[in-house]
Amino acid sequence: MQIQIFAAHWGNNELAPQVFIDRVKQAGFDGIEMSLPLDAAAREDWTGRIAAAGLGLIAAQWETVFHPTFEPHRAALAELLHNACAARPLHVNSHTGKDYFTSAQNRELLELAADISRQHGVPIVHEIHRSRFSGHPMLLLPYLEQMPGLELTADLSHWCCACESLLEDQPHTLAATLPHVRHIHARIGHQQGPQVADFRAPESQAALAAHLGWWDEVIRLRRAAGAQRMTLTPEFGPVPYTQTLPYTQKEVSNAWELNLAMLELLRQRYG
């Protein structure tokens, strides 16, 4: 099984497209995960540059967060997913639904995404993320029972802070969830937040070990299933994910540096 590691555009928005693409290529990533512009010309500029660099693309949509009521959320989701799929990425990572929508509403959104995926022939995976339909294990599990084909992005850092644990007390939750994972956001969370200050620090080793154990199991499951590819994106993010010192607002760590260190760890661990 081929392991492909992507660079997150999140946190690098201030860089010109070619500057960011060159940075990603030089660092040794296999591709870029990003939310593409709605403007068609800007979208084609990005995708053309990424392809010319020999990099893969994972398209993301998170902008439905700006639509807190159901009907505008549904309309935005449809537009964003069609635009993302039209770029012909490896797959689309979607922030889908809300934790306060009804189960029927969230299921309607998931079925809409599945229909768009079929139309374009592009897989759409739904990110485990706070405030979305999957923001807590007990929110997600009923959808997995009702929709056994549902495919997920594992960003389990969100569950760490949602559950105020490293999930050591709910192996049954992980056993039900991990077989559905097709993409991993490789960020280390902890019991009180979605991002440790530095995963290499001694105080972060328990959290790192927990996340690596989950990722190991996902990759084992995908290999056993005969999957051709598994994708991971180191996704340490900017402020406020990156913590700052009081008063000075000085960042305690650099997100790009952490993502490069995670890239190296993943290469060593998974090849």
Label residue 260 by pLDDT band (50, 70, 90).
very high
CATH of domain 2-270: 3.20.20.150
pLDDT tens-digit profile of 136-182?
Answer: 999 999 999 999 999 999 999 999 999 999 999 999 999 999 999 99
The pLDDT assigned to 209 comes to: 98
* Residue 178 neighbours by CB distance under 10 Å: 18
pLDDT tier for residue 184 given thresholds of 50, 70 and 90: very high
Which candidate, 135, 149, 63, 84, places its Cα nearest to that of 106?
A: 135
pLDDT tens sequence across 41-93:
999 999 999 999 999 999 999 999 999 999 999 999 999 999 999 999 999 99
ω into residue 240 within 30 of 0, thus cis?
yes
CA–centroid distance for 146 within its chain: 23
- pLDDT (0 to 100) of residue 199: 98
Domain regions of the chain by residue span: 2-270
State whether residue 86 is helix, strand or coil. helix
The DSSP-derived string for 137-163 is: HHHHHHHHHH-TT--EEE-THHHHHHH
| Amino acid identity for residue 159 in this structure | W
pTM: 0.98
**Of the ranges 36-40, 68-72, 156-160, 218-222, which one carries the lowest mean pLDDT score?**
36-40
Distance CA(190)–CA(69), nearest Å, equals 30
Cα–Cα dist 200/151, whole Å = 30
> Dihedral sign, CA of 123, 128, 132, 134?
positive
For residue range 230-257, list pLDDT tens digits in order: 999 999 999 999 999 999 999 999 999 9
